[in-house]
Homo-oligomer: A and B are copies of this chain.
């Protein structure tokens, strides 16, 4: 309990008032204080849950989920977060093909939001589309609230777009904070966000982009490594540079995995598709050019196969700080000899980090819940103090 109290006190020194009644799109649109508020509340909600204190602030209410891509993990994380706060998830299943635009989005967004407090969207498949679509939805329901159609303004959580994957990168950072004993200990730590070979071809860019766009905030030494041709969005690289300059860290790029791993405190080896190829694919989908898409897939798989040496092997791990860097991954990973013949990581490396990897993932529901909490609750400290005082039981059979 003392621990929770201290965390609430920490909140008092942060300025996060602009998060109230607001959306969460990209981490770099938020201030350091705002991100810290998310981490702090995530920790508080977790501790409350562990101490059987309910944080069900909604006695009823809906959370709309809109997934334009299959997703077990994100879906369960979102459902968990909503359940923790008392919201019931209602899925909108539009189908992948039926990508609505403009007035149709405005109409649908209002029609599904009469009782919605929160909307969670995952739309990461098409470059230049996902984030834009989220803004369309957000604008529509904001307007709907102003026009007296919606009794409340549903706030939006980006569950992965074409640019950023904030719930992933924030969960990752909270994991690092716990592993390194505090956010203040991240300064100067070297993290290698590197490409890795996978026999699958179109993994989203939002993970590496989210990582370099966030980890450069806290004074870390961020190295982005990939083979030539696997560039991420240039805009996000600019964000990373700017962040590094402001936070006193660094952002560098290399085409050598070994260089990136050298003395790294943390490694995050993961496959992704080249930005330019994803742009081309988006274009081909727009034209319904399925032959073109097939040809592109083949081309990308061939290109990937040239870089099978980009793997997180035991050899590679030896290059890291004391050979003991923290290995990270958003899961599921392509494990050599387990889920594929040759993949992102050696089975022995993966196995050694299994428990930390699962812990890393376990922060996501709390991160999502914290984002929703901050966007809905007017006075977070007060509400949390009340919960701590009244201690409503999450489960009364303990």
Contacts and interface: CB of A to CB of B under 8 A. Distances in A.
A308 B365 CA distance: 53
A256 interface: no
Nearest to A359: B149
Contacts of A373: 397
B361 A49 contact: no
A76 B147 contact: no
How many subunits of this chain does the assembly comprise?
Answer: 3
A88 interface: yes
Contacts of A110: 358, 361-362
Interface stretch (A111-119, A188-196, A211-219, A271-279): A111-119
A339 B108 CA distance: 14
A79 B84 contact: no
Nearest to A49: B151
B77 A62 contact: no
Of residues A57, A60, A107, A112, which shows the largest number of chain B Cβ atoms within 10 Å of its Cβ?
A60
A184 to B, nearest CB: 23
A150 B363 CA distance: 11
B90 A62 contact: no
Contacts of A349: none
A358 B149 contact: yes
Contact of A108 (B72, B117, B338): B72
A148 B373 CA distance: 24
B60 A394 contact: yes
Contacts of A60: 54, 56, 83-84, 86, 394
A393 interface: yes
A73 interface: yes
Contacts of A182: none
Interface stretch (A225-233, A282-290, A375-383): A375-383
Contact of A79 (B76, B90, B362): B90
Interface string A354-386: 010011011011000000010011111001001
A80 interface: yes
Interface string A307-348: 000000000000000000000000110000011000000000
A398 B61 CA distance: 14
B115 A84 contact: yes
B59 A392 contact: yes
Given A76-B111, A332-B107, A61 B149 contact: no
A144 to B, nearest CB: 7
Of residues A49, A149, A379, which shows the largest number of chain B Cβ atoms within 10 Å of its Cβ?
A149
A57 B339 contact: no
A378 B111 CA distance: 31
A396 interface: yes
Nearest to A148: B359
Interface string A141-153: 0001001111100
Contact of A61 (B108, B112, B394): B394
A144 B60 CA distance: 30
Nearest to A81: B115
A92 B72 contact: yes
Given A107-B331, A107-B358, A111-B361, A58 B147 contact: no
A280 to B, nearest CB: 30
A46 B149 CA distance: 11
A83 B61 contact: yes
Contacts of A358: 107, 110-111, 144, 147, 149
7 contacts: A57-B395, A79-B90, A111-B361, A114-B362, A115-B365, A150-B362, A378-B398
